[in-house]
Structure 1
Amino acid sequence: MCQNITWVVKVSIIPFLRWKAITFIFLLSFVSVLGFAQSKIDSLKERVKSDDFEVKSNALMELFISYRLTDLDSALYFAERSQALSYGIGDSLMIVRTEIAIGYVYQEKGFYQLAIDHFQNALRIARRNEFKDREKFVLNNLGLTYYYYGKYDEALQYHFQSLSLREEEKNQLEIAISCNNIGLVYYQIKDYNKAIEYFKRSLEIKKSLKDESKIEGTLINLGLCFSDLNNYDEAVNNFTRVLKLCERNGCEDRIKVDALNGAALAYYSLDNAEQAEVYLREAIEIATGVGLQSHVVNNTHYLARIKKEEGNIDEALELLHASQTLAEEIDSRVWVNKNYKLYGEIYALLNDFEKAYGYQMKYDSLSGLILNEEVIQNLANIQINYQEKENLETISLQKSEISRRTTLLILSIIIIFLAVVILVILYRNNQHRRNVNRKLYEANETIEKQNLELTNMNTVLEERVRERTQELNASNAALLKSNTELDNFIYKTSHDIRGPLATLQGVCNVALIDIEDEKSIDYFNKLSKTAERLNEILSKLLVINQINNSLISEEPIDFDAMVTDIISEQQNAKTLKAISVEKEIECNLHFRGDQDLLRIILTNLISNAFKFYNTSGRIDSFINIKIFSNDRLHVLVVDNGIGIDENVSYKIFEIFSKASDMSDTAGLGLYLVKLAVEKLGGEITLSKAPGGFTQFEVILPYH
């Protein structure tokens, strides 16, 4: 609950003058610092003019460092000049430094593939020259870049390699950095407990170093984990702590942007959209100012989502377009994919289901590329490889000498064998060369003859294909005409027969009133029931016609009311025993579909469960109805009735097929269900639930 508190402060003139003096001193100090920084930059630019390679290259790299946090374009310019100078001289160490610097700029600007290319160049040179200190630094940057790029298995691999080198050196601060980065990868693949484990390890190391300025990033990452575990209060505490540290000690723009973004999402989850929007806009402003394009993308995405939830669709689309344009520019697959999902949700609200479906398909396709089964397996293998590394190294040392001697022996045998084989091959080749040349001549003549025959055969086959195509088209037209005539016949016949049936039922009812002979009454009762069953069959035949020819409507479905109504209808029918009915319908289930088709599906499944109950007095009959959703709608109807014989289960969805000899129906119910499900683009299955009970499951897509 937010409260507005007004503070009343009494101010005297003396404190006011003191404050003005303090402000003047601060401004004077600030101007002095700026002047000193500018003076240093001017001095470095003068050193760049030197003819000495070392002086010039170091000056260029110091200029890169001076600009990297404030002006990425200028930083890139000086890094590339230093790179050209380094390659010209052939200084391997300086080449590695410049490749890392250029990769850093491209990473910050969001051009991840370019960053990866430069870091890979730096890694190859560092390993070739055994620059261990640079190698671990490059590995860390590669891990971060693959992380931003959405390739989490490769990110984890490089971070574990970097961690191994840092553990060998026992550099606690660098170990903490690697643990933090590994936690980020686990966070992205939604293994939040593993992520928290690494983040806490990183935080404990940093606290032991008693340097408060180094914990902001880890606090942000812990806050993100708590948010995804729905512990939003703890998340807000972490993000607020970071923002306070930034105010007190100062921090990098990236840190502040991440903290604002995390706090915004946490407040949004706590239903404080107003505060969330304030933080998001502040984060976008800072990220735009310093060129943190990937941060602009994700903050704009979340602002668009807030506007969508508020019902401001036009502004939401405008923000989303801006986020998507920038995400595609920097090739950020993760945010391109998240934007696809939001596009689908917005166009669904606008009832533009074609666009909504298109974006949902794009989202599903790209999601499979970003985090498929192969990537997940790679992540698991990388973790296992890291944990077993020390054991493998020990075993490797023990086997090294044996392997070396065995290899020498095997190589000797292979060389002797190959020499013999070569001699045999040369001898046989000389013997068969003439035979091969003769056979090749004969083969060429045969091939020419066969080519001529194939040409003639192709001509004949093309004519046959043309004839078969014409026959197939004619058959399809005839089949379409037959289906249309059959639909019309069913519809017309059903209507024509229902009139006489109604008359027959009326006569039976009058006869039952007037006749007192018990035998005659029994006959008329049977005749009335037969007419009633025939009328039911005709009704279901009309429903088949209705399903085949109806247009699917899109309207909100109240499953709870619909199921309650159907159960009430079935319970009013006469049964020999009480049947317990339990329904589990997901709360706040939002599904739009065709009301009539869904009622046909539920009515027939539930009525079958009532009809075919177990008549045994020792068994309490029950029916369980479950309706829930994940990416699709699931409808389950489970009962402990008489069951369905496995020998006929494969054909129960066919027309006029009966699941039991006890059935007094025409075998149309489950056929109607299958028709309606297929009309809605879904699928239906029959299976055994736990306990051996009969279970029907219907799965329908969202539109």
Structure 2
Amino acid sequence: MTGSHDHYNFFFPSQQLLLYMFKYYLSIFFVLLTFVIALPAWGEPVGEPADSGKVVSVNKLAEGYFYKNPDSAILLCNQALLIAKQSGIATETAKAHNNLAKAYYIKGSFFESLIHTDSSLAIIKNISYPTGLANAVNMRGLVYLGQDRFEDAIEEFKKALIINMRSKDSLRMAANYFNIGLCQGDLQKFDSAFGNLRMALWLALKNKNGHLTQMSLNRIGELNYNAKNYAQALVFYDSALHFKDYQDDWEKSFAYSGKAQTLYELKRYEAALNNGEQSFHLARKLNVKWDIERSAHILSKCYAALGNYKEGYHYKEIARSYRDSLLNEKKDNNINYLHLQEKKSENAELETEIEVNKQVIKKNRLVIVLGSLFSMVLVAMLLLLKQNIGHKRVLNRVLQERNEEITRQKEKLLSINAVKDRILSVIGHDLRSPFTSVIQAMELLRSGVLEEADRDFIFENFHRHVISVSELINNLLVWAVSLQAGVNAQPEKVDLTATTEKIFSLYNAAAGQKKQVLKHQCDKEVFVTASPTHVQIILQNIISNAIKFTPDNGLIEVKYSFGQDYTAIHICDTGTGMTEKKLEKLFQASGRIISQTGTNEEAGTGLGLLLIKQFIDENGGRIVVKSQLGKGSEFIVYFKPYEEPEPLSAPVTIT
């Protein structure tokens, strides 16, 4: 698994090419003066556009947001790209693509990152822009590194190193040496890794780059740890922690956890515990999953070694939770890898098509030049060209029809796979995790080392995980039945108030345990048109979630509102509420992405929310959610109102 400290990358602004283009066109101007009108598209614009200063400023501004706010960086990069394209500035266009590739890489969107890297390389191959070329090649290496394709990544980093050597750019060379050493360390090639990381350290010190210096010290310490050179590992970790010219909490967290794991191997458990706690504190402060899992794992081992099994179990649970999350991200990365492979194939086809088109353009230019001298040949060639264009149009129409059919089939397959992947993701993660916790807890119980308080703690976990599994299985069964072909909602008259009272009676005990008040405001019977089963599942999931996420002594209230074409039920609570970011994903995802534990550590899967949305849609309704973090939530479900059928009129007798 590649962590947050696993690479170093540089992007610097530069301008060139315009003077070269001007000289080039001046040299051929007199030769092609006769044909200048016929060849207006040959080459790029001459002169420096008025917007050149603006696009440089926007690109520079975007670079300042890479690690603060990647989304803002993407927005600024797109603006720079638009201005650069309109102005015809090739270097800044390539730089904007490079910056977009870096911003998407930081977000973990490797597919989009590779797209912009390839776009940058396509521009740079036609101009002289070594800095941009080195950045693009290095960026492609980082994408491969993010996919654990270490050999491929090393090849790209070496290409970037050669370019930077030619430019005598020692700071970028340091970054290339660092990335190469990082990959070799993951491949267990320790001698080569030590050599490249020491070179990176030397160049970083020479250029007075504190960040890269601290990173290199940390990684040399990690290599010594993996090679079981524990004394040397401690020296380099301490050097990173006490490097006066630069300090970064991210690197400090890595250094503390590195010291902790080294001291643990030396059986200095108390010292290892102290360093592990400092690493865990910094990692939680930065909210970095990889570092949190690493430090929690070390703390679990330290506490167990010191005989504190309760704390050891606690940190083992934390490490497991973050490890599962990282495994899910790893699965997403594997999916992205398939997309990258598909994109690579598409790029190869595109490059072939571009080469073919270049040859056609060259031939057409030659025909135009000769045609100005030989009019009869020109006429013949134009007729031939027209005939070829006709054939091409026919072929294009056939290809377009086939592509449209392939696209339709692809969309159907993607829809089927999306449902399958969603269910398998929930089963594979949220069903596995509780059982893993139960098995680990049973092992502790069987060991016989737990005291009575610890056993009570373990049994309480049993109860919580069993409830989680039960809820998940029920929702999966309901959803699986709902997805069967031909199963549609059967609308009929539904008593909404009676259904609500029935659900309240089911959850009185759960609410009573948390001393919550279930309030039902209704002065008359309320009827809607919908599937009774679907209505019960919708209300049961919403009310269950309201109880789960409302603290002790809270209030869950149900009331109604009416309109000309709707009857709405409002489920309000005084619970924990949600952020705007979570509201946006509320009915679009399941599992760890959307679920969270309740106020009494009740587990959830997020699958119930997908059931709610699906059943509301099938019954022609809609749902609105209003929530504010810390101030509760309100779920409003709009159903079709029930209308009594008109009575049949009495038959009329004609005499």
TM bracket, shorter-chain basis: 0.3 to 0.5
TM-score (norm 2): 0.43
Larger radius of gyration: 1
TM-score (norm 1): 0.41
Greater length-normalized contact order (CA 8 Å, ≥ 6 residues apart): 2
